[in-house]
């Protein structure tokens, strides 16, 4: 496989985007307003679409698709974490009943 200089710059952008996804996932654990989080996800998806449309050459689209699958897995993990947290919260007796 031949790596061209443009591919290295592209991979740097992918790595930067991946780091940003990791940071957003970490923030998810601290976020209190999911409406704002949803807006951020929508904004990032638009940025990804624009990036793919404008800067990704056809031969790198396969790698882009794989990268997006990995991001999707992280979002699935985040959703599972939220569901587990909600289930644990639901399993606790109401605060009024604990007295």
Residue 59 pLDDT: 65
Nearest by Cα to 44 from 77, 99, 36: 36
Q: Report residue 92's pLDDT band, with 50, 70 and 90 as the boundaries.
A: confident
Predicted pLDDT of residue 81:
93
Query: What is the rounded radius of gyration, in angstroms, for the C-alpha atoms of the chain?
Result: 18
**Could you tell me which residue, 73 or 51, shows the higher pLDDT?**
73
Distance of CA 57 to the CA centre of its chain: 23
Residues 6 or more apart whose Cβ sits within 8 Å of residue 28: 37, 78, 81, 82
Distance CA 85, CA 66 (A): 29
Which residues have a Cβ under 8 Å from the Cβ of 68 and sit 6 or more positions away?
Answer: 48
Average pLDDT, the chain: 78
pLDDT in tens, 40-65: 788 888 888 887 777 767 767 778 88
Distance (Å, rounded) from C-alpha 79 to C-alpha 20? 18
pLDDT value of position 2: 55
The pLDDT score that the predictor gives to residue 97 is 59
Q: What is the pTM of this model?
A: 0.44
């Amino acid at each position: 496989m031949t790596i061209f200089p443009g591919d290295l710059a592209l991979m740097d952008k992918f790595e930067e985007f991946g780091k940003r996804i990791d940071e957003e996932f970490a923030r998810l654990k601290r976020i209190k307003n999911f409406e704002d989080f949803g807006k951020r996800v929508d904004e990032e998806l638009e940025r990804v679409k624009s990036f793919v449309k404008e800067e990704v050459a056809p031969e790198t689209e396969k790698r882009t698709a794989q990268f997006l699958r990995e991001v999707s897995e992280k979002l699935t993990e985040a959703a599972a974490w939220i569901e587990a947290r909600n289930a644990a919260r639901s399993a606790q007796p109401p605060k009024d009943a604990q007295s």
